[in-house]
């Protein structure tokens, strides 16, 4: 339980004028220019996207502007994709303490993304009935690849199999997401079965098994998503999060649904649109995917160019010469090779890796800081749904945890009873199919 001792920790409120002055002094004035474009071809009408280039960390402070981009690839209906597009960004921003400077804000962002994803999933499952017919709400789910660009720093959070890649100078392509497909992700298969799910292919008459690996109950091919009330709660909304800082040469992001990635590799998608401005680049990627595979699925692409302020170096320009060794070095083979690639990119100064975490355990993702999870009112706050709690109501996210020997059950962040029940369900500590009222 949360103790009253935590009441002595309050957010330090900073006057707006002082915060703007601090931002102007600490922020490099040479911020990159962000240009974007998108293109899509619809087959089922379940892909949705978000482009917002005028967000502000501090309302009224133009120097605190950042951009948000996302793709939501729905399945079994579009309800989850629509709800996530309308609510995820606000939930993420609501989980970041007020009064933070830019560097502190960026450091808090990975934790806030986890809280925002889980809150969106929880609210869709409990409140979606108000917005959608019951049948659509119960079967609908969505992937989510959510990108925040703040200056030279790019933060990506994802569940499912939509993907975000980074194309940098010299033709180096790296993947900033991890695919949560049961067919390809061994770790996720093991997690799902350990949490009470079954993984197998679809059985047909005669006992033959066909198609990709799926999770039962529900038959979903993904191990992480938002929504999907008709499957086990071990299908979690906890995102893989990666944060990188680009060099002053900038770079290009290609964010796309699996309609692109089922047709093109990361390298193929990047190469197909090099030298084109963002809007034309997005159209070219979609065109190339359709030429390769045809329109078998909703196909959506967002291209984001992060351009140096002097505009002397254009991102994603074709390299004049690329030897075989370099091509081999930067070719993505698997999730492991993607992680190695990121470290190599960091080593040569192309990007600096600031954060990476993909655990599906909420206690590990929310951390152990005692001061987190409190509201400005002095009461405790649920780290996921942001509701105020009396000290006697808050349950530490680490209470009863067996995953960290250093965790202290009296330390925050804290969860309300509802979010604690959801945490237990995601970790297989409550029977599958039992929903929180």
Could you state, in order of their start, the residue ranges of all structural domains in the chain?
A: 31-127+135-177+236-310, 361-366+377-428
Q: Read off the pLDDT of residues 104-120 as tens digits, 9 standing for 90 and up.
A: 999 999 999 999 999 99
Q: How confident is the model at residue 292 (pLDDT cuts 50, 70, 90)?
A: very high
What is 31-127+135-177+236-310's CATH topology? Phosphatase 2c; domain 1 (3.60.40)
pLDDT higher than threshold 60 for residue 313 = no
Question: Where does residue 118 rank: exposed (0-12), middle (13-18), buried (19+ CB within 10 A)?
Answer: buried
Interatomic CA distance for residues 255 and 146, integer angstroms: 9
Residue 145 has pLDDT above 60, yes or no: yes
Signed CA dihedral, 210, 293, 181, 299: sign only: negative
Q: 34 or 396, which is more confident?
A: 34
Number of other residues whose CB lies within 10 A of the CB of residue 272: 19
Q: What is the dihedral of CA 291, 296, 298, 303, to 10 degrees?
A: -30
Q: How many CB atoms lie within 10 A of CB 373?
A: 29
Beta strands in 171-259 (DSSP E): 173-175, 198-203, 209-216, 226-227, 240-246, 251-256
- Tell me the pLDDT tens digit for each residue of 193-252: 998 899 999 888 777 888 899 998 889 999 999 999 888 888 999 999 999 999 989 999
Question: How far does the chain reach from its first CA to its final CA, in angstroms?
Answer: 22
CA distance linking residue 174 with residue 163, whole number of Å: 11
Give the pLDDT mean for 317-344: 48
Give CA separation, 307 vs 37, 271, 312, in Å.
Answer: 14, 18, 9
Report the pLDDT value the prediction gives residue 2, as an integer from 0 to 100.
45
Are 254 and 164 in contact by the 8 Å Cβ rule? The answer is yes
User: What is residue 203's three-state secondary structure?
Assistant: strand
């Amino acid at each position: 339980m949360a103790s009253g001792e935590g009441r002595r920790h309050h957010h330090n409120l900073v006057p707006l004028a002082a915060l703007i002055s601090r931002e102007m002094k600490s922020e490099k004035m040479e911020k990159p220019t962000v240009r974007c474009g998108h293109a899509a071809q619809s087959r089922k009408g379940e892909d949705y996207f978000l482009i917002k280039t005028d967000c502000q960390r501090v309302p009224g402070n133009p120097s605190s502007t950042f951009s948000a981009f996302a793709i939501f690839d729905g399945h079994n209906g579009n309800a989850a994709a629509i709800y996530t597009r309308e609510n995820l960004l606000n939930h993420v921003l609501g989980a970041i303490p007020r009064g933070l400077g830019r560097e502190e804000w960026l450091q808090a962002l990975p934790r806030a993304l986890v809280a925002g994803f889980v809150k969106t999933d929880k609210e869709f499952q409990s409140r979606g009935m108000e917005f959608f017919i019951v049948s659509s709400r119960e079967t609908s789910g969505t992937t989510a690849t959510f990108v925040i660009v703040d200056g030279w720093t790019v933060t990506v959070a994802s569940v499912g199999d939509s993907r975000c890649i980074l194309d940098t100078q010299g033709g180096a392509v790296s993947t900033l997401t991890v695919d949560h497909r049961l067919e390809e992700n061994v770790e996720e298969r093991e997690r799902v079965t350990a949490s009470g799910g079954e993984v197998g292919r679809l059985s047909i008459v005669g006992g033959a098994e066909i198609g990709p690996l799926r999770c039962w109950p529900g038959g979903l091919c993904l191990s992480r998503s938002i929504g999907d009330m008709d499957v086990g709660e071990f299908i979690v909304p906890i995102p893989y999060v990666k944060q990188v800082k680009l060099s002053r040469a900038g770079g290009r992001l290609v964010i796309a649904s699996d309609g692109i990635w089922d047709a093109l590799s990361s390298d193929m998608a990047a190469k197909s649109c090099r030298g084109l401005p963002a809007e034309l680049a997005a159209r070219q990627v979609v065109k190339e995917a359709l030429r390769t595979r045809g329109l078998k699925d909703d196909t959506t692409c967002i291209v984001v160019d992060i351009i140096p302020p002097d505009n002397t170096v254009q991102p994603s320009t074709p390299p004049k010469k690329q030897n075989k060794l370099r091509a081999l070095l930067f070719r993505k083979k698997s999730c492991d090779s993607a992680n190695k690639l990121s470290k190599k990119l960091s080593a040569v100064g192309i990007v600096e890796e600031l954060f990476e975490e993909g655990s599906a355990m909420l206690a590990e993702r929310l951390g152990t800081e005692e001061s987190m999870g409190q509201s400005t009112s002095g009461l405790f706050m649920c780290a996921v749904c942001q509701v105020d709690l009396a000290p006697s109501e808050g349950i530490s996210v680490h209470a009863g945890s067996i995953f960290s020997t250093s965790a202290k059950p009296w330390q925050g962040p804290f969860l309300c009873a509802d979010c604690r029940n959801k945490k237990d369900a995601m970790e297989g500590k409550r029977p599958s199919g039992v929903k929180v009222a």
